Structure 1
Amino acid sequence: MGHSKVDKAASRERVLRIAARKVRAEGVTGPGVAELMKEAGLTHGGFYRHFASRDDLIAHATAAALAEGTAKMERAARKNEEDPRIGLIDAYLTQQHRDAPATGCALVSLGADAGRGNQDFKRAYERQVRAYLDLIAGLGHETEDARAEAMLTLSALVGATLISRAMADPGLCDELLTAVTDQLKQHPSTPPAPAV
């Protein structure tokens, strides 16, 4: 790959990274092309060398924002070797995650946009939901209910984060995160003890 192609690819990736952060923070209608290009240190006129349209950029940025989450979830789970599910819960339901939507889980910030979006957007969102369900189901013990438990866990993680971001009372926000964390940790994710 020639030098200019390498530069072009690096510039495109930089714009995508910034756009992915912006769509997590502001939704898909928030970031404008001029603002994104300026933040990437590029001219507005160079935009079309990288993307066919703003919609094309937003589609790629949304896919990138969603896909970034899998690696973060895997790292979070590895923080607790004895019980990776607890490691994931502890890392996800935090004030830091709540207060940083630009770097947080895109399932939280893009759910409403996906619900109103086109089929491609819905499919991208669904792919990420499926990836998280597989990841979470694989963290516990293999049981018949592992997938249902994963659905409950993912719904609680995303829902609690979304609700805590949407409220004004910091005390209630913190209380919600703590309560959901405690309840998820107490919820049976381990197989029942054998009968004696």
Structure 2
Amino acid sequence: MGHSQTEKAASRERVLRMAARKVRTEGVTRPGVADLMKEAGLTHGGFYKHFASRDDLIGQAVALALAEGSAKMQRAARKNAQEPRRGLIDAYLSRQHRDAPATGCALVTLGAAAGRGDQQFKEAYEQQVRTYLDLIAGPDGTSEEARAEATLILSALVGALLMSRAVADPGFSDELLSHVASALERHGSPQSAPPA
């Protein structure tokens, strides 16, 4: 790859990563091409050298945001080898995760937009939900009961994080996170380790 091709690839990656951060914090309707290019240190005119359209960029940014979230959840689960589900819950319902939406789980920000989105967007969101359910349920989680348990846990995680970010009172926000974490801990202990 020549020097200019290397620079072009780096510029494209920079815009895509910035768009993924924006999608997590602002959703899919707000990030404008001009603003993204300016933040990436590029001119608006150069956008079409990297992406076919704004929709193309946003679609790729959504896919990247979802994939990065999955990788973070897997790392969180592996931090607690004895109780991987506990590690995942602790990381997901942490203040750090709540306070860093630009690098956090995209399921929270993108849920409503996916519901209104096109088939490709819905399929990408669905794939991520399925990936998380597999992670939570673990390798032996194919039974109806294990899938239902994983669905309950994922729904509680996403809902609690969403509400904790949406309320005005910081103390109440902390309370939402800690109450859901405690309830999930009491609800059931981890059954088995998720896939690596």
What is the TM-score when the length of structure 2 is the normalising length?
0.92
Identity %: 74
* Equivalent in the alignment of 1:74: 74
* Equivalent in the alignment of 1:83: 83
Taking a change above 3 Å as real, the CA distance of residues 81 and 75 of structure 1, as seen in their structure-2 partners, is same
* Equivalent in the alignment of 1:178: 178
* Equivalent in the alignment of 1:51: 51
Structure 2 residue 104 is the aligned partner of structure 1 residue 99: no
For these two proteins, the number of residue pairs brought into alignment is 191
CA distance in 2: counterparts of 1:183 and 1:140, whole angstroms: 23
Shift of 1:190: 4.9
* Equivalent in the alignment of 1:150: 150
CA distance in 1: counterparts of 2:115 and 2:163, whole angstroms: 17
Taking a change above 3 Å as real, the CA distance of residues 190 and 107 of structure 1, as seen in their structure-2 partners, is closer
Taking a change above 3 Å as real, the CA distance of residues 144 and 97 of structure 1, as seen in their structure-2 partners, is same
CA distance in 2: counterparts of 1:81 and 1:102, whole angstroms: 27
Alignment of 1:1-196 (within 5 A): 1-138=1-138, 145-190=145-190
SS in 2 for 1:149: helix
CA distance in 1: counterparts of 2:144 and 2:102, whole angstroms: 36
CA distance in 2: counterparts of 1:154 and 1:106, whole angstroms: 13
After superposing the two structures, state which structure 1 stretch, 91-100 or 1-10, moved more: 1-10
Q: Which runs of 5+ in 2 are unaligned?
A: 192-196
Shift of 1:53: 1.0
CA contact (8 A) 2:28 2:58 kept: yes
The CA RMSD over aligned residues, in Å, is: 1.6
Shift of 1:27: 0.7
Shift of 1:10: 1.3
Shift of 1:100: 1.5
Which structure's relative contact order is higher, taking Cα pairs within 8 Å and 6+ residues apart?
A: 2
CA distance in 2: counterparts of 1:79 and 1:142, whole angstroms: 23
SS in 1 for 2:157: helix
